[in-house]
Chain A
């Protein structure tokens, strides 16, 4: 069966520090991968998605970036965190070659930038 792992579960970082959140998927190959952010009191915002190694699409401009160094690994990064980067970050995957209907989510990372 397929599983998705996301870590760390919680993170407290000072403003201006770098960020690296990692997500890995097991039990499937060539998945579509996503990073969502859930800010307090707001809905889910799609940040990045990837349909293959090295292929990253950004939905919103920001100081975050994403990379997909391996088929089932998706990394969210920042060189310098802002206060507004605080939020709950969710990684997700879906089957490739479909209309991306069903997403499977990781357990999330609560990021607090102080």
Chain B
């Protein structure tokens, strides 16, 4: 079975500072990994995904994530935080269960201080 752990349910950064949201996974099959973002009062939308091509994946809004097999990690980063980045971020792994359903982590709420 697969699982996802997001370290830190809340992360606070200053505007312009580096954003680092941590995600570690376990999967019995080569993983497909995803980051979703949920802005206040909205549904989730896909930020980026890793599908066994390049290990550094670039997404929307300046975010990127690096797949590190040796560390079973897929951390999300952005060099400079913007106030509009304040949202909840979910890491997910495609499952090895029937139907390959996505398994989500617990989420990390990113707060950006002016």
Contacts and interface: CB of A to CB of B under 8 A. Distances in A.
Nearest to A100: B100
B113 to A, nearest CB: 22
A97 interface: no
Contact of A101 (B4, B49, B104, B107): B49
Given A43-B107, A102-B46, A102-B49, A107 B41 contact: yes
Nearest to A106: B43
A107 B94 contact: no
A103 B99 contact: no
B67 interface: no
A100 B94 contact: yes
B99 A107 contact: no
A74 interface: no
Interface string A72-114: 0000000000000000001010000001111101111000000
B101 A59 contact: yes
Interface string A47-78: 00101000001010000000000000000000
A99 B94 contact: yes
